[in-house]
Amino acid sequence: MIRTRLLAGLFALCLAAGCKAQPASKNSLDPATARRVEVMIRTQYSLPPDFDVTAGTPTPSKYPGYDTLPIAISHGGKSQVVDFLISTDGKTLARFETFDVAKNPAFLIDITGRPIRGNPDAKVTVISFDDLECPFCARMHQELFPETMAHYKGMVRFIYKDFPLTEIHPWAMHAAVNADCLAAQNGDAYWNYVDYLHTHGEEITGPDRSLPKSFATLDRVARQEGVTDKLDQNKLNECIAKQDTSKVMASSKEAEDLGVQGAPALFVNGERIDGAVPKEQLWMVIDRALRAAGETPPANAPAAPPATGGTGQ
């Protein structure tokens, strides 16, 4: 199903972009083979009935025993040509894809200047695209801190990137800007602020859901954190008042370029996790990354004994 959705999405994207089909040659496949190819593609990739599928002319490929077969997928006057492989006897259809593993954007996420929690020199990095108003992000935050961090004891470092979903979370952008104002002076102040917001979301929203009151609360908490961590108050107040969203928007753009559609979205040494997953699934991914980095993951804590349900005598 994943392969089907992926290819169908590729077709839809290319059709929307207005790609043009290559005209089929008069020396195409014989009609019986062309029909079998068409039916196979329609079946395997669940194409809607109103999509046209046209096989082009086979040409030699770099794979022994196979020719390259261009297939035009058309809909609404727009087309895209996708290259398949067909065996020289016409009995087998295949499609290979190549990926540039050296330039996978999941390994190139910009973490310059972001506060780090955990061992800065750890071989495994958990990057979370986080929304400070998101209840699912708050749930994931509770999975990470303190238990996951304590479990790995310096083997993993944690970094948050901004991804406020402003369409549904009206104070998330303001919160992200304030958090970054704190981060500019002190990483611990940033993490303390994030911890507070992820455990006091309802307080920030307030019973009357007044956005100006939410902004005022966010600013008050940020300034209190600045006092606690002995930050430069003038610099902090200026940053909070300015509400410069450029860095937050750049982080959100990076998330979108990675295909992230919701928060939280985690990348564990490049491996992606969407949504707030249970601790067991999260640790499975972290353990896999540790092994790949030549580290031995810590043993999981033994399960608690089942409750007897009885009463003491």
Superfamily of domain 105-292: Glutaredoxin (3.40.30.10)
pLDDT above 90 for 157: yes
Mean pLDDT for the chain overall: 88
pLDDT tens-digit series, residues 29-75: 899 999 999 999 999 888 888 899 999 999 999 999 999 999 999 98
- Looking at residue 38, its pLDDT comes to 93
Mean pLDDT (whole number) for 281-305: 86
DSSP states along 215-274: HHHHHHHHHHHHHHTT--HHHHHHHHHH---HHHHHHHHHHHHTT--SS-EEEETTEEEE
CA 239 to chain centre: 29
| Tokens found for residue 303 | 């399960």
Mean pLDDT (whole number) for 88-101: 86
Start-end ranges of CATH 3.40.30.10 in the chain? 105-292
pLDDT tens-digit series, residues 119-143: 999 999 999 999 999 999 999 999 9
Query: Which band of pLDDT confidence, cut at 50, 70 and 90, is reported for residue 24?
Result: very low
pLDDT tens-digit series, residues 232-266: 999 999 999 999 999 999 999 999 999 999 999 99
Q: How many residues appear in the chain?
A: 313
pLDDT tens-digit series, residues 191-240: 999 999 999 999 999 999 999 999 999 999 999 999 999 999 999 999 99
* pTM for the model: 0.72
Rounded to an integer, what distance in angstroms lies between the CA atom of residue 139 and that of residue 130? 11
Bridge partners of residue 68, in order along the sequence: 59, 85
